[in-house]
Each structure stands twice: as structure tokens, then as C-alpha cells.
Amino acid sequence: MPSQFFGLNIAASGLRAANAAMNTTANNISNTNTDGYSRQKVDQEAADALRVFTTYGCAGAGVDTVAIERIRDEFYDRRYRDNEKLYGEYSQKNYYQSLVEQYLDDNGETGFSTLFSRMQANLQSVMTAAGTTTTKATYVASMTAITDYFNTMSINLQNLQNDINLEIKSTCDAINSIAEEVASLNEQINIVEMTGTTANDLRDTRDLLIDHLSEYISVSVRETDVIDENDPERDTGATRYEIWVAGGQCLVDTYSYNKLVCVARDEDESINQNDITGLYNIKVARSNYEEGSGKFISNFDLDNANIGGKLYGLLQMRDGNNQKFFNGTSGAWNPLTHTMTVSVSNDYLKDMAQCTLPAQGVIQIGARSYEYTGWTYDGDSNYTFTLDDTDDETGRAVDFSRLQSRTYDTVNIGKSIDYQGVPYYQAQMNEWIRNFAREVNNITTTGYTSTGEDGCYMLTGDRTVSSNTSPAQYTFEELTTTNYGYYYLTADNFAVYSAMEHNANILATKADITEGDDEFGNIKKLGNMFNSKEIFRGATSGEFLDKILADASLNTSNADTMEKTYSGLRNTIGNQRLSTSGVDEDEEAANLVKFQNAYTLSSKVVQTLTEMYDQLILNTGV
């Protein structure tokens, strides 16, 4: 038969179980509003029955408090994190696209449509007094206002690209910080759980970090038990915890982690003509990486559609080219001149008005990259690139042997980014400027001034770097170079010919040299061109803003709609998670009463048994 004190042991187990449940309930109540906290629950099970040699065979031995576990559903965690990456992406797109839209918006004073209409009105004034210096000077000044508008827009977009670039670095730093924290938590969790307990609060902290990480970049996690090879049946309590980001890049592997390192591109590594200097490429490095060591694991693919999160939205805004990038097929290699011919098939690559190639940069031929120092275009389907024969980092000669025996390799500069980001808007402005300048100059150079002198070009570009032997602006001969010309003009350097700004009388107003001072045939040609010539996406000169603002407005609207959608889903899924893992105050209040009663009853059992033992010991003479 069991011990006479067996009942006291049973009551004591009830007291311990009720006390643990009460403390856990108190902890839940205290963390009702704690972010990331998962409701905890005491797991209880009946203690192993005691075998007694009586007719009833076994006697219950009370209750065992097995563990304190957190209540959490991994399904909702995955759904929440999948939604977070989309929310993060579109929140960034919405913010920066709305800024682009604000830059393009016409406020009635300094916007494109206002300035263009003012210029057309001033052109009409020239028609009424073509021989008057004042009207011509006013018209030239209004054209200068348009070139200044594009200069300002270019500065705004470059500043925006720089801001995005800096935020890319801060995002990578935030990802690295979370990776370091998770690796540290993994070690702490294993230390605790190898003793046989569950590190609930540490796991909550880790899961909250993963929630934050999923807003920056797409995340998948995998946790597996560590097996003792000598005794596979033994529960070690340790786990291997891995975080994979961007669809397949290992960020954390238990106690070790990798970093996303931002490396600024050199000036000769630009991808687009108007890109600012110092845009970041992203490399993957070990946690002990030191800046400047150059020891990287791999390149981080910037055009990977699985990146997700804020990082993906930022990269698309910074690099988005609407899938228009340089790509073709390698042809003949000339080992004497170090030139490679590349054939292209896309129509936009055959139009210099749409060309976005930097004067020098990095070209990928097959699987290898080379620096080029210049390029030419034959006006048909072939570009010829001059490759740099010296490696800037090592100072050694570049090995071109691979190029001598291979043709028809894939060639590209940059990547296809299926989004309308900053490079797209820059390219659109450049296309309008080049076509507009060409049409204006074609008219002004074929007319005559009021005094009968040959007309000159009106629109050009300021040189980025001018030497003592070259003028500060591009000459008309340079702008009309066969198969190259107006490529020199960009929104950044667009300008009115400086001589015309100082002397408006060199403006070609006459179409017929035999007519008098007030003949305005050439001015009329300009007016007709402005109103009827389709120079940009099937539209006239003045309709530029309608086209590009429509792009920005549509992109902003789409991003805003998607951000609101995923923000709503964020709340919905978050509430679903809380329904499982969150603390319900009413439920905890009920538990408080329930476990209080359990504790009271167990105490009553102890009191009752104490009275029985007193009777047994004191009154029976035992």
C-alpha cells in the first residue's frame, strides 16, 4: 500500500502546478502590450501512477508540470512576413514616386507647361516685331527658362537617386544588424534549451527581429534539430537555425552570419549616362569582413526579382530602366586596336535620342566584364567598343585571349529592370531634349537674321569638363556628328547657345533673305513645329509633360494602391496572429480565478491531510 503521506505529495504537486500556472498568467497579463510577446501556457499532465498491491492496483500520483510553452502558429508567421516584404517594397515606391510626381507637377509658375506656353507666346511677339531686339531677347530668355527647368529637374532626380542610394546602404546596415543579433540569440537559445527548458522570451525576441527583417528583404527561416551522431536517439536540445534572404542567399546559419556590404562604383563604372557617381553595388561577405579588404563571398544580384522588401523597392527606384538597357551579340574582335563590335536588334538602341550609354563604363561579354574607354555607332545595328587593356586595380595587362576565339556571346551593360525608376525619367527627358534641340536647330540654322546674316544654332549643351582648346559648349558640328551628335545633350547640360543669350539679334527670324527686317518666315516655321511636329512618343513638343507626368502619376497611384492593400492585409494577418498568440485580458482574468481556485483547493487538501495526520499521530498513539 502507498505511504501514509502519499496524499500530501499529491497535494504538493497540485500546489506547484497551480503556482506555476498563476505565475505564467501574471506574466501574460504583464506583457499584454509588449510587441512580439507570445502568450505562454503551462503544460500539465498526470504523474505516473504508483503501483500498489491492492485490489485497485494503481493509485494516481498527482500532476507533473512538464513545461511552459508559448502559443504561436508558424503559418501566420509566414503569411505575415510574406506580406511584409510586399508592404516594404511598395511603401518605398510610393514615397519616391510621389516625389517624382511633385517635381514634375506644374504649379502655374515654374512648371514645364507654363514655361512652354510662355515661350510660345513670346514667339508670337517676335512675329509682330521680328526686327526688334527686345522681342527676340524676351523669346531667347523664355527658351533659357525651359533649359533651366530641365537642368533643375536633372538635379532633383540626381539628388533623389543619391537619397535612394544612401537609404540602400542604411537598409543593408539594418539587415546586417538584425543578422548579428539573431546569431547572438541563437547561441543564447541553444545554451538555455540544452538544459531541457524552453527559451520562450528569447524566441519571441528572435521572431520579432525576423518580422522586422521581412520588411527590409524577403525572408525564409528553417530550424532543424541537432543530432548526436553517437546517440541519434538522444534529444540534444540544440537546433540549427538558418535565415535565407532574397530567394536563396544565406544570411544566418546558427551562430555565424553574413553581411551585405555596399561598395561604391567608380566613376568609370557607370551604367546609365546620367547616373550619379558612387552608386552602390552590393556584395556578400563574412561577418568578420573589414572595409577595404575586398574579401567577398559573392555578388548580390541587384536585378533578382526575389529580393523583396524595402531593399527591392529602393533598387527598382534607383535603377529602374523600364527594361531598356544595352544588350546585343559580340562580333569581331580586333586585337590590335582592342575593339569589339557588338550587333544590336532593339529599335531603341538604334536611336541616339534614346541612347543611355555612358561614355565609359563596364561591359559584360559572355561571363566576363571589361572596362571600355569609348564607343562608336555605325548608324545601322553595330556598336564598336574600345576596351581598356590595363586593369586599374592590379596595373597588369588585361587578358583578352577569350575574346579572340569567341563570337556571338551575349553582351550587356547593366541589367533589365522592369520598373520606371529614376533612370527611366532621366532617359525620357533626354529623348525629348535631343529631338527638340535637333528640330529647333534645323530651323534656326537654315534661316537668316534680321540683318541678312546666316542663322546659327540655338540649343546646345554645356561641357562637363572643358579644356583650354575646347569651347564651354558643344558646337553645332559636334551635335550633328553622324550617328552620334545629339547624344551629347542631356537634361543636366541642356542650354541655350551662350552667344545668342548675349546677343539675341543672331536669332534667325527670316526665311527669305531678300525680305526686310520684319520678315518672320523662320519664326513661323518654329511655331508650326512646336504645334504639329511629333517629336516625343507620338506627341508634339508641348505635350511632353502630359506624357511623362502620366507615367509618374500612374506609378504613384499603383504604388499607393498596393501599399494600402498590403497595409490592410498587414493589420488583418496581424490580428489573426494575435488571436492565436496574443494575450486576451478577459481570458487571462478567467484563468487567474481558475488557478486561484486550484491553488486554494490544493491548500485545502494539505490542511485536511494535516488534520488527519494529527488525529492519526496524536490521538491513536502511533
- C-alpha 261/C-alpha 284 separation (Å) is 6
Q: At what angle do helices 112-128 and 544-581 cross, to 10 degrees?
A: 170
Domain boundary among 362, 386, 413: 413
What are the φ/ψ torsions at residue 268 (nearest 5 degrees)? -95, 20
- C-alpha 248/C-alpha 241 separation (Å) is 15
Q: Is residue 502 part of a domain?
A: no
- Full domain range(s) for residue 384: 326-413
> Which whole-number Å values give the CA distances from 194 to 221, 228, 396, in the listed order?
21, 12, 55
pLDDT at 1 over 80: no
Which residue from 187, 192, 284 is spatially nearest to 241, judged by alpha carbons? 187
Q: What is the pLDDT of residues 322-381, one digit of tens each?
A: 999 999 999 989 999 999 999 999 999 999 999 999 989 999 998 899 999 999 999 899
Domain boundary among 386, 413, 440: 413
Q: How many C-beta atoms lie closer than 10 Å to residue 106's C-beta?
A: 15
Domain count, the chain: 2
Q: Read out DSSP for 139-188?
A: HHHHHHHHHHHHHHHHHHHHHHHHHHHHHHHHHHHHHHHHHHHHHHHHHH
- C-alpha 177/C-alpha 217 separation (Å) is 13
pLDDT of residue 229: 85
Handedness of CA 583, 589, 594, 599 (dihedral sign): positive
Q: Give SS3 for 337.
A: coil
Q: Is residue 56 part of a domain?
A: yes
| Whole-prediction pTM | 0.92
Q: Is residue 564 part of a domain?
A: no
The average pLDDT across 525-548 equals 88
Q: Is residue 368 part of a domain?
A: yes
| Contact predicate 387/338, CB 8 Å | yes
pLDDT at 67 over 60: yes
Q: Is residue 362 part of a domain?
A: yes
Q: Is residue 358 part of a domain?
A: yes
Q: At what angle do helices 74-104 and 133-193 cross, to 10 degrees?
A: 170
Q: What is the pLDDT of residues 83-127, one digit of tens each?
A: 999 999 999 999 999 999 999 998 888 889 999 999 999 999 999
pLDDT of residue 306: 94
> Which whole-number Å values give the CA distances from 49 to 11, 55, 111, 405, 439, in the listed order?
15, 15, 86, 83, 98
Q: 123 or 485: which carries more pLDDT confidence? A: 123
Domain boundary among 391, 413, 435: 413
Q: Is residue 447 part of a domain?
A: no
CATH label of the domain that carries residue 332: 2.40.10
Which residue from 195, 270, 272 is spatially nearest to 235, judged by alpha carbons? 195
Q: Is residue 315 part of a domain?
A: no
| Contact predicate 618/109, CB 8 Å | no
Mean pLDDT of the chain: 91
Alpha carbon dihedral 579, 25, 201, 195, in 10-degree steps, equals: -130
Q: How many CA atoms lie within 13 A of 118 on its CB side?
A: 16
pLDDT of residue 49: 82
The average pLDDT across 484-498 equals 92
How far apart, in Å, do the first and last CA atoms of the chain sit? 18
